[in-house]
Structure 1
Amino acid sequence: MHPYSWSLHAEAVVLVPLLALGYAFVLRRYSAPGWRIACFLGGLGLILAVFVTPLESLALHYLLTAHLLQNVALAEWSPALVVLGVPPAAAAASRKYAAVRALTHPLVALPLWLASYYAWHIPAAYDTALRHPSTLLHLEHLCYFVTGLLVWWPVLTGRLDAGASAAYLFGAFALASPLGLLLALIPNAVYDFYEHAPRVWGWSPLTDQQVAGLTMAAEEAVVFFGAFAFYFIRFMRRDESALDLRHARWTR
């Protein structure tokens, strides 16, 4: 396949329509402001962007870097936008289901997401999935997306307050970021599939892996540490406001 060819894969032709239909059903029962709808559509657009454009061809046949970009889009970016698109009333209504409460509990959601992230990046699992693009690779991508929804749910639906959200996101950042750094620092290419893939852009397999690892580490810092900083600042401001209120009462 040409490295810059466009394609249609299950993530684009199955997942996106199913999510769109599900969201349309939710909107019939629960209203959502325009910005939430835009976030949800942005999440779907991101899935299309990484599985229809030439990034898919590069990921499937040539570059680890391209594949890791797909992975972080599915595991972090798109799920965050999709969860932001959920109407608050719908999120609250979902809590009546025991399975939803259990799977979105912070002490369950984060370990599931980390387990999926690390397990699928084990070289044997990664190479096997790439050699079975019609089955195992779809399963890998589905695991990323579903656990991504779970990991963002406690924060973006208001289950956690600002302080707990900051602690949770810092934990996610601290536990996930070593994977990218590890890939960047290992002195040899660890994925057999990409070691024997056709070369593009003049990158060696090791260069590709180093760029992929650094990209992943930088992305983790921007997304999770950035989100941590946002909630930490909110927590500190709320704490300061509470102290100011107490001080005002004491000085009356």
Structure 2
Amino acid sequence: MGEWTLESAWLAYCGAPPAPGGAGWNRDPWLGAALVAGLALAWGRAADRRALLAGWAVLALALVSPLCSLSVALFSARVGQHLVILLAAAPLLALGLPAPRREAGPGGIAAAAACFAVLLWIWHLPGPYSATFRSDLAYWVMHLSLLGATIWLWRGLLLAAATRPEAVLPAGLATAAQMGALGAFLTFAPRSIFPPHEYTTLAWGLTPLEDQQLGGLLMWVPGGLAFAGVALGALVVAMRRGRFAA
């Protein structure tokens, strides 16, 4: 499992693993300043200010709410934080941030789906995952790379959904499949694979393996269903337009 002790947990950006009832809000002033500055920079060129504001609010909530603290203790909380960012904040930001007028073609959407898949799997390998608990730089590289890739993917899916549904369908299905595969792997793994949570879950009534299984289920079901729903919507649009007619 690697060497990991409670004494080293203070290195995590979100603090030491909390006990039940002890999870607090993230009051990092540098994060607050970065969120305000980022919103101000994007506001003047926003494609949709309401979507931008909603997406930024969800992103800020995921980063400053007790989810940040809980994610130090529980892998399932870290997955929950990721899902809030990737499935709620990212599509809103994809609609709200300045975007190229030209919609993405099949190649661009496929590239975005591939980039998202690679990053999602990399950051859920034991080594890179553990690095985010030892290094603030790794923590923010994880969040920013996943957020950027997911905005890229959602932008392609949402912009092309009405006009190029045949490009959206395979990307949506592939993304749902790979998220489901990762979730299933984590759910059915015979042992826990994340050293940072080896000693942090028992206070919450979960073994490390049970916590990992819960996180896997969250990624498998809500994550997979979100992108499967996009693919299904694209299929319905395509069938109505006769794109897949015999």
2:238 alignment counterpart: 235
For the residues of structure 2 that align with 1:150 and 1:11, how far apart are their CA atoms?
26
2:9 alignment counterpart: none
1:46 alignment counterpart: 58
Contact kept, 8 Å, 2:129 with 2:194, in 1: the verdict is: yes
1:151 alignment counterpart: 153
Seq. identity, %:
22
For the residues of structure 1 that align with 2:224 and 2:137, how far apart are their CA atoms?
32
Quote how far apart the aligned CAs of 1:91 are.
2.7
Using the size of structure 1 for normalisation, the TM-score is 0.79
* 1:16 counterpart = 2:25: no
Task: Tell me the amino acid that sits aligned with residue 148 of structure 1.
Answer: T
Task: Tell me the amino acid that sits aligned with residue 92 of structure 1.
Answer: R
Equivalent residues in 2 for 1:1-252 (5 A)? 1=16, 2=18, 3-9=22-28, 12-27=31-46, 36-60=48-72, 62-86=73-97, 90-92=99-101, 105-132=108-135, 134-158=136-160, 161-197=164-200, 199-239=202-242
1:95-139: per-residue Cα shift (whole Å, max 9, x none)? 8xxxxx79x81232121111111111110110121122x221111
For the residues of structure 2 that align with 1:84 and 1:11, how far apart are their CA atoms?
26
1:193-227: per-residue Cα shift (whole Å, max 9, x none)? 11122533311111100100001101123210111
Do the aligned partners of residues 148 and 10 (structure 1) sit closer, same or farther apart at CA in structure 2, a change above 3 Å counting?
A: farther
Do the aligned partners of residues 52 and 234 (structure 1) sit closer, same or farther apart at CA in structure 2, a change above 3 Å counting?
A: same
Quote how far apart the aligned CAs of 1:9 are.
4.5
Contact kept, 8 Å, 1:106 with 1:154, in 2: the verdict is: yes
Quote how far apart the aligned CAs of 1:86 are.
4.2
Using the size of structure 2 for normalisation, the TM-score is 0.81
For the residues of structure 2 that align with 1:165 and 1:111, how far apart are their CA atoms?
13
Task: Give ranges in structure 2 of 5+ residues lacking alignment.
Answer: 1-15
Which structure is richer in relative contact order (CA contacts within 8 A, separation 6 or more)?
Answer: 2
Instruction: Tell me how large the CA RMSD over aligned residues is.
Output: 2.7
Larger radius of gyration, structure 1 or 2? 1
Do the aligned partners of residues 143 and 172 (structure 1) sit closer, same or farther apart at CA in structure 2, a change above 3 Å counting?
A: same
Task: Tell me the amino acid that sits aligned with residue 16 of structure 1.
Answer: L
Moved more, 197-206 or 140-149: 197-206
Task: Give ranges in structure 1 of 5+ residues lacking alignment.
Answer: 96-100, 244-252
